[in-house]
A and B are shown apart, each in its own frame.
Chain A
Amino acid sequence: MIVLLGVLVVVLGFATRRNPLLVVGVAGIVTGLLGKLSPVEILKTFGESFASSRSVTIFAITLPVIGLLERNGLQQQARTLIGKLGNKLTTGRFLTLYLLLRQVTAAVGLQTIGGPAQSVRPMIAPMAEAATERRNQGRPLPEKVREKVRSHAAGTDTVGLFFGEDCFLAVGSILLITGLVNSTYHTHLEPLHLALWAIPTAVCAFFIHGGRLLRLDRTLERELVMANAQLAVEQEDAQSALQQDDAQPAVQQDDAQPDVQQEGAPGRSARSEEGGAVK
Chain B
Amino acid sequence: MIKSEWFFWLVGAVFLAMAAQMVFDRSNPKRPGTAAFWGLLGLCFFYSTWVNEKSLPAEPLGVAVLVLICLGGFNLTGKGKPDTTSESERTRLAARFGGKLFIPALTIPLIAMVCAVLADKWKIGGTPLLEEGSETILGLGLGAIVALGVGMWVLRERRVTVPLHAGRGLLESMGWALLLPQLLAVLGAIFQAAGVGDQVRKVTESVLPDGQKLAAVVLYCVGMAVFTMIMGNAFAAFPVMTAAVGWPVLIEQLNGNPAAVLAVGMLAGFCGTLCTPMAANFNLVPAALLELKDQYGPIKAQVPTAGVLLGCNILIIYLFAF
Residues of A within 8 A of B (CB): 1, 3-4, 6-7, 10-11, 14-15, 17, 19-25, 27-28, 31-32, 34-37, 40-77, 80, 108-110, 112, 116-117, 120-121, 125, 143, 147-148, 150-159, 162-163, 166, 168-170, 172-177, 179-181, 183-185, 187-198, 200-201, 204-205, 208-209, 212
Contacts and interface: CB of A to CB of B under 8 A. Distances in A.
Contacts of B90: 70-73, 75-76
Contacts of A208: 305, 308-309, 312
User: How big is the B interface, by class?
Assistant: 35 or more
Contacts of B98: 77
23 contacts: A14-B232, A14-B236, A24-B183, A24-B187, A28-B187, A34-B194, A37-B193, A45-B189, A45-B190, A48-B61, A65-B108, A67-B167, A68-B104, A69-B101, A70-B90, A108-B109, A116-B290, A177-B263, A190-B136, A192-B136, A198-B263, A201-B316, A209-B305
Chain A binding surface SS class: helix
A54 to B, nearest CB: 5
A190 B263 contact: no
A162 to B, nearest CB: 5
Contacts, number: 462
Interface of B: 4, 7-8, 10-11, 14-15, 41, 44-45, 47-49, 51-52, 57-66, 68-70, 72-75, 84-85, 87, 90-95, 97-99, 101-102, 104-106, 108-109, 112-113, 116, 133, 135-137, 140-141, 144, 147-148, 151-152, 155, 157, 162-171, 176-196, 199-200, 203, 227, 230-236, 238-240, 242-243, 247, 258-260, 262-264, 266-267, 270, 273-274, 278, 282-283, 285-287, 289-290, 292-294, 297-298, 300-302, 304-305, 308-309, 312-313, 316, 320
Nearest to B115: A192
Contacts of A7: 191, 196, 200, 240
Nearest to B273: A162
